């Protein structure tokens, strides 16, 4: 089985002089699962590389987080992939924890925090259906491009509800895959207010035809 090929780049985030060094997969044709770990989790070879590519929504979320008022809030990034937003928040000294289902994400996060000379980001591999994780509750929950399959909005809303403090803000950068309103209704049924807006030029250094979904409780 061929080993992975990587790309290395430095990404300038926002207008506040934040630069993130990141290692990503060379393209979305990469695959390396010699022990069948991903296969055992139901992750096919076609889906396997998607975690390791920088998607427009992740850039939009990271841009939003570069000067977002997070204070001392405990923050969780869901489905983090390469965790660009987590890396930005980590560089700002925020209290950030990341999670993803893919078994290779943690190793990539470790490499990328090292590339940035930053402290490790607490990480837990878990699925939205896993009711037995050790994450606890958070004041701010963020995600990007997580509404990619119809029917998953219930599991995602349940996961967020389990990990949201009594007062909590949730921000999702969404590339208009058509699930936003269904997800919004699920969140409203769990006590969150829901607003959506078109992403503005300031949310992304390149044109981004997406939405910023915000939920408050």
* pLDDT over threshold 80, residue 91: yes
Question: Which carries the bigger pLDDT value, residue 201 or residue 146?
Answer: 146
Task: Please report the pLDDT score of residue 19 as a whole number.
Answer: 93
* pLDDT over threshold 90, residue 83: yes
Query: Among residues of the chain, what percentage have pLDDT more than 90?
Result: 87
Place of tokens 């390149």: 206
DSSP per residue over 99-136, as a string?
EES-TTHHHHHHHHHHHTT-PPPPEEE--TT-TT----
Distance CA 173, CA 94 (A): 19
* pLDDT over threshold 70, residue 205: no
pLDDT digits (tens, 9 = 90+) for 5-44: 999 999 998 777 799 999 999 999 999 999 999 999 999 9
pLDDT digits (tens, 9 = 90+) for 53-74: 999 999 999 999 999 999 999 9
Closest by CA position to 81, among listed 36, 28, 34, 129: 28
Place of tokens 């606890």: 136
Q: Which domains does the chain have, with CATH numbers?
A: 52-216 (3.40.50.150)
Q: How confident is the model at residue 133 (pLDDT cuts 50, 70, 90)?
A: very high
* pLDDT over threshold 60, residue 143: yes
Distance CA 30, CA 102 (A): 14
Q: How confident is the model at residue 208 (pLDDT cuts 50, 70, 90)?
A: confident
Q: How confident is the model at residue 149 (pLDDT cuts 50, 70, 90)?
A: confident
SS3 category, 123:
strand
Q: Across all residues in the chain, what is the average pLDDT?
A: 94
Question: CA–CA distance from 148 to each of 48, 88, 206, 211 (Å)?
Answer: 15, 24, 21, 14
Instruction: State pTM to two decimals.
Output: 0.95
């Amino acid at each position: 089985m061929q080993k992975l090929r990587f790309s290395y780049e430095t990404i300038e985030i926002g207008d506040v002089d934040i630069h993130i060094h990141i290692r990503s997969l060379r393209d979305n044709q990469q695959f390396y699962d010699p022990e069948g770990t991903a296969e055992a989790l139901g992750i096919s070879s076609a889906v396997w590389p998607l975690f390791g590519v920088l998607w427009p929504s992740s850039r939009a979320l990271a841009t939003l987080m570069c000067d977002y008022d997070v204070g001392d809030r405990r923050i969780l990034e869901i489905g983090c992939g390469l965790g660009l937003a987590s890396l930005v928040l980590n560089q700002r000294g925020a209290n950030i924890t990341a999670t993803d289902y893919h078994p290779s994400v943690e190793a990539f996060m470790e490499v990328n925090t090292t590339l940035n000379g930053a402290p490790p980001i607490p990480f837990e591999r878990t699925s939205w259906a896993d009711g037995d994780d050790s994450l606890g509750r958070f004041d701010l929950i963020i995600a990007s491009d997580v509404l990619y399959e119809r029917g998953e909005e219930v599991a995602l809303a349940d996961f967020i509800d389990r990990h949201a403090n009594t007062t909590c803000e949730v921000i999702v950068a969404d590339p208009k895959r058509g699930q936003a309103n269904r997800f919004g209704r699920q969140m409203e049924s769990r006590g969150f207010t829901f607003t959506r807006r078109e992403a503005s030029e300031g949310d992304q250094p390149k044109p981004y035809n997406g939405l910023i979904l915000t939920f408050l409780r």
